[in-house]
Amino acid sequence: MPFQNPSDAQIQALLQMTRTIAVVGLSDKPQRASYIVSSKMQTWGFDIIPISAKPQAQILGAVVYRQLSEVTTHIDCVDVFVRSEVVGDIVDQAIALGIKLIWLQKGISDEAAALRAQAAGLCIVMDRCLMTEYQRLFPQKLL
């Protein structure tokens, strides 16, 4: 059966329980989509954990980790801003860590990895912007 994104109700339920978002591919450049989305989610009360292969100490005031497995605190959601070709490895790490929600941003998809995540009991959203969907599903929280 081909992959389908979860329903709005499923996404809403998961986002209501989400407080900590690990952002894979978070850039330190304010003009980049990963920075814009993460900064906005941070202003809405989410804790952001930057994951970046580029060596640096902090982004958006938070300690940068090189991969998900290095993070020592609980992660509710993984927001992915890297090429589709490397999504499989990120999904496998999320499965191993028991992260309940994986979010692949606009233009990013990997159907095989998504089906693996679903088979492991994780929720995965592909080819959608987390910030845009949060604004659409929770307009009352943004006032």
18-74 tens-digit pLDDT? 999 999 999 999 999 999 999 999 999 999 999 998 878 899 999 999 999 999 999
Tell me what pLDDT residue 6 has: 94
Instruction: Confirm if 20 and 74 have CB atoms less than 8 A apart.
Output: yes
Q: How confident is the model at residue 143 (pLDDT cuts 50, 70, 90)?
A: low
Upper half-sphere CA count for residue 65 (Cβ side, 13 Å): 16
Q: How far from chain centre, in Å, is Cα 51? A: 10
Give 55's DSSP letter. -
Q: Is the pTM of this model over 0.85?
A: yes
* Best CATH choice for the domain 8-138 from the list 3.10.180.10, 3.40.50.620, 3.20.20.80, 3.40.50.720: 3.40.50.720
Q: Which of 82, 68, 77 is nearest to 41 (CA)?
A: 77
Q: How many CB atoms lie within 10 A of CB 98?
A: 11
pLDDT in tens, 77-133: 999 999 999 999 999 999 999 999 999 999 999 999 999 999 999 999 999 999 999
Rg of the Cα atoms in the chain: 14
Residue 135 has pLDDT above 90, yes or no: yes
Among all chains, which residue has been given the structure tokens 């692949």? 104
Rounded CA-CA distance 133/121 in Å is 22
Task: Strands of 4-143 (E only): list them.
Answer: 20-24, 47-51, 58-59, 62-63, 77-80, 101-104, 123-125
